[in-house]
Amino acid sequence: DCHAQVGDSAETVALTLPAGDRQAEDQPLHQWMEQTLPQLAALEAAQQDKGLAALWSGLCGDDIYLLSKLLSGGFRVGVSSGLVQKALAAAAGVEPSTIAQRLMGGIEPSADTFEQLMSSEAEAGGPPPGRPYPFFLASPWDSENRPPWQVDQWQTEWKWDGIRAQLIRRRGEVFLWSRGEELINQAFPDVVQLAEQLSDGTVLDGELLVWPSESPQPHDFGSLQRRLGRKNPGRSLLAECPAALISYDLLEAGGNDLRGQPLRDRRQQLEAMACNWSGNLRLSATLTIESWDALEQWRSQARAHAAEGLMLKALDSPYLEGRKRGHWWKHKLDPLSLDAVLLYAQAGSGRRANLFTDYTFGLWNGDQPPQLVTFAKAYSGLNDQEINELDRWIRRNTLQRFGPVRSVKAQQVFEIGFEGIHLSSRHKSGIAVRFPRILRWRQDKPADEADTLHTAEALLKP
């Protein structure tokens, strides 16, 4: 009940525990990060409980809150990474791109690391061999302010439905980094092996997909999900879901940083390099598109090619950091959608702790009479007015309570959008969807006209 009112676990702990008389400032932050917390993490579970209780008992409320946030990994401040990079760069007297590059790949929180981060001097011996470059991100397509179409100024390719990655070969070592700055060598040993085809001092930017050699196109994201998070995939999984790197940019060649060169030059070098590749190290093909009408025609075919839309990249664009509008665009397909019935609701967290904002939706099955089966959860898509209106309705129409969850009368229908759908034995409905969110509240539609599992299964790729 306390957590439901507060909406944050760390704050709930800080408010319920008695405050001690010691200030966290008595111990420097680096000592907490380098000694106290690692020592706590190294203890057995039972000893960790005692050690944490001892730490809590000597701290005041605000410090208990901060310690709990650090331990839970939930210490997040609502400041963009770009703003942090600019602030650090201004303080250090270097370019923001330099700070962005030094932060890539993760850093150890220590006084020495911070000194290196803020140094105005170039790194002695160059950057670490495993450090990736900051990813350049595309902006969502803006059809109302689209740039003038000149076929010789834009490169068009499929927007693949995988995960972004950089494959690095430097100083005899290989590193595979995800866009989330996770080193994923262990999860994708087959892709790491592909780097044997690369010369030393090479960095590729591309997409990780599952693509069997005998298949004309990659498998859907559901196949790739089987590989994600597996630190040591077995032989059978590697055989069933072989990973490929589809490369679409060359960031480094011969140890030289190519990011300042225009895309047309980087692409030319990438194509020359790809002539010597084999197996699942592949080049992302470009598409020849002569007009905006042709662009929309190609986009409509994306799902048939196991893609989620198109990418448009200015041929004169350098490889920048983060999202810079005007250079790269992602023109995604419209989401798949189903009309589903609200079945369960749960209170949110933070500023929405006292509002029901996390919803579970169901579809009708084929039984006689039909029953509603849960198929997706969503918490985004409604505006504040709709959230408040729905919250009042949920409180008036609650059937049962299961801890923080309420079941409600099966009366409200919502259009649920999602990026993909695949079979799943882990879900009661037999299907799972990617990135579900609410597109609109169908107050015009009765619950018995909501979609069925049969309708959902028809969306599955043949």
* Distance between CA atoms of residues 350 and 391, nearest Å: 16
In this prediction, residue 120 carries a pLDDT of 76
Which domains are present in the chain? 1-72 (no CATH), 81-124 (no CATH), 136-332 (3.30.470.30), 336-459 (2.40.50.140)
Phi, then psi, of 55 in degrees rounded to 5:
-65, -45
pLDDT of residue 268: 97
Query: Which residues are CB-contacts of 77 (< 8 A; sequence separation ≥ 6)?
Result: none
Q: How far apart are CA 325 and CA 320, in angstroms?
A: 11
> Which residues of the chain fall below pLDDT 70?
1-7, 19-25, 74-78, 109, 122-126, 145-149, 151, 350, 462
Burial class, 424, CB count within 10 angstroms (exposed 0-12 / middle 13-18 / buried 19+)? middle
Residue 350, pLDDT score: 67
Answer yes or no: are the C-beta atoms of 359 and 348 closer than 8 Å: no
Calpha distance 414→416 (Å, rounded): 6
- Distance (Å, whole) CA 408 – CA 342: 7
